Structure formats: C-alpha cells, structure tokens
Amino acid sequence: MPQADERLILADGLAAGDDDAALHARLIAAGVSAASAKYEVERLAKDPMALALRRQAARSAKQQWLFANQARLVRESEGGFALDTVDRIATAEFYRGYYDANRPAKLTGLVDHWPALSRWSLDHFAAVAGGAAVEAQVGRDGDPDYELAKDAHRRMLRFGELIDWLRGDEASNDIYLTAYNSGTNAAALAALWDDLAPIDLLEPRDGRDGFFWLGPKGTLTPWHHDLTNNLLVQVMGRKRVRMAPPWAFARMRNNRHCFSDWGNEALPAGDGTAETPPVLECVIGPGEAIFLPVGWWHQVEALDLSASMSFTNFRRANAHVDDYRSFGEIA
C-alpha cells in the first residue's frame, strides 16, 4: 500500500488530468523512489477510484474548454467584454438583452419616481424608525471570514443607535445592516417602504419586496456569487461594484460554497491574466442600479455612507437556488 502522502499526490495529479508520465514525475519530485513510483502508477490502471478521477478530470477539461469558448465569443462580439450603461431601459429590452443573456448592466432612470431619493437621510430614518429594534452585522473587522460566518455577527440594537454611530461618518467595515438581516428588519423598518414605488422591470409580489442595506463608507462585501439574479439600487451615497463572469470560474479561487478566496482583493478592471479573472467595474450613485446576473462574481464597496435596496422579484422564476448543491467545500 502506498503511504498516505503518496495517495494524496496521486489523487491531486489524477484530478488535474495528469497522464502516467506526469504522475510518475510528481512522485519522483516528492522523493518517492523510481521503482515505487513506477509500481504505484502502474497499479492505478486497475483502481476503480483512479478511473473515476480520470473521468472526472476529463469532464472538467471539457467544461473548461466550453468556458474558454464563451470567453472568446464575448471578446469577439461587437461590444467586447464591457459593461453597458442603459438609461430608462424598456422591460422587453432588459429581459432580452441582459436578464435572459446573463449579462450585467448599469441601469439609470429606473427609480427617478422614488420619494426615497429626496427623503432618505439619517434624520429621516431616525424620525420614522429610530426607536425600532433592528438586527445588523457587528464585529466584522475582527473576523477575516465575516461573510462566511454571518450568523456569528448578528446583533440586535436600536435603529437610532446605529444612526447615531453613522453620523460620525467614520470609514468602517465593522458594522453593516444587510439583506441577510431582512428577516428580522422587514417589519421593524416597514415605514421605509412607503418611500419606494414599483419598478417596471420587477414583478410586484407582497408590497414589501426588496432588501434594505445601510452602512458607513468602507463596508466591503467580498468576492462571491449569488444564487439568484439581483438588482441593486443605490439611494444614498456611492458603491463601487466589481464583477467577474461565470466563465472565469477557474481563476476565481472558489474553495467553499459561493465564496472566492480573492476576498477583499481589489482585482483590477480589464481582461485579467493567467491567474486573475477578467473584471468589469463601475460606481453607482443615488438613483442608479446594477443588474447582477446569477453566477456572476462580484465585490461591493461603499465609497460613502450608503443606503441601498436589492431585489430578486423579476418577471421570471429566478429559482436557480432550487437545484444548487455546492454549499460545502469545493476544493
């Protein structure tokens, strides 16, 4: 029987698609004798687990070829790898050109009719809901995995306390009221929905659609992908949004669930390199929105004190999470 480290070396090589010569070279590089390396590689021909790994590696290589073709087609298209900005987009155009095409877009003119654009401020929040008990993510700065460990950072506080802290206008990633807290906050902050109005692109459902976000400048949602299509609408302040396409999966360092080991790294906009993904970047301000298609990696950074709404109630099922199975470790 090979030693445990030899089995691991062989498994890694098989998963990477190594042929026998490459597997032999891996073992030799790890200090295994030539005779032992020859023996272990030869016995793989009768090992059903090794055969299964080789089939999986072949499927993975085929998948990467398909992704590479998607990348080529995007770069060779008329607009190339770029982010469109569209003003007052028609519903049919949005679904045909962006939602159904799994293509992000910066959208303007969608919410010019929202009272929130003129009403929302810290003073307004304090007046209509300052006494409400709300849930927020707290203590994020001390935890490098704060997004993965969201449940551990849930804290209840009075909305007025958060507002008073935000008045200091300090840059911080330590406290953030996010969509993840909406289950607790939807009722407490219901008055804020009176400042919203329907968006033509969306399907009204229960009258309180959407998720509320509020935090200081400096809040940072690390690289990840969502399990649904999302529309992020900015009401107060600005956010920088970086995006990478699903076909860049091999360069996204996705080792667990929907999260990327790139984390808070400010990956540069452009075509990427052999190691880094291609990235689109934009800034959205009050009244502007970004459509984030399902599977697109993104990172969101608040450049100012920021209040936003996000929505998933499109005029499509948007049920992609239903058959998602990769909640644990991936690599």
The C-alpha atoms of residue 249 and residue 84 are separated, in whole angstroms, by: 22
pLDDT, tens only, 10-26: 999 999 999 999 999 99
For residue 156, what pLDDT is reported?
97
pTM of the complete model: 0.90
Q: How confident is the model at residue 3 (pLDDT cuts 50, 70, 90)?
A: low
Q: What average pLDDT does range 108-117 have in this prediction?
A: 98
pLDDT, tens only, 40-49: 999 999 999 9
For residue 1, what pLDDT is reported?
44
Mean pLDDT of the chain: 95
Q: How confident is the model at residue 208 (pLDDT cuts 50, 70, 90)?
A: confident
The C-alpha atoms of residue 64 and residue 47 are separated, in whole angstroms, by: 26
For residue 329, what pLDDT is reported?
84
* β-sheet with 297-302: strand ranges across: 220-225, 297-302, 239-244, 280-284
pLDDT reading at 207 higher than 80: no
Q: What average pLDDT does range 172-182 have in this prediction?
A: 96
pLDDT reading at 200 higher than 90: yes
For residue 331, what pLDDT is reported?
63
- Find the DSSP H helices in the chain: 4-15, 20-29, 34-43, 48-76, 91-94, 116-119, 122-129, 159-166, 182-188
The tally of CA atoms less than 13 A away on the side-chain side of residue 92 is 0
Residues 219/189, Cβ–Cβ less than 8 Å:
no
Burial of 17 (0-12, 13-18, 19+ CB in 10 A): middle
pLDDT, tens only, 245-277: 999 999 999 999 999 999 999 999 999 999 999
Length of the chain: 331
3-state SS, residue 224: strand
Q: How confident is the model at residue 90 (pLDDT cuts 50, 70, 90)?
A: very high
Closest CA to 244 of 234, 258, 256, 233: 258
pLDDT: which is higher, 206 or 255? 255
* β-sheet with 154-158: strand ranges across: 154-158, 133-138, 175-176
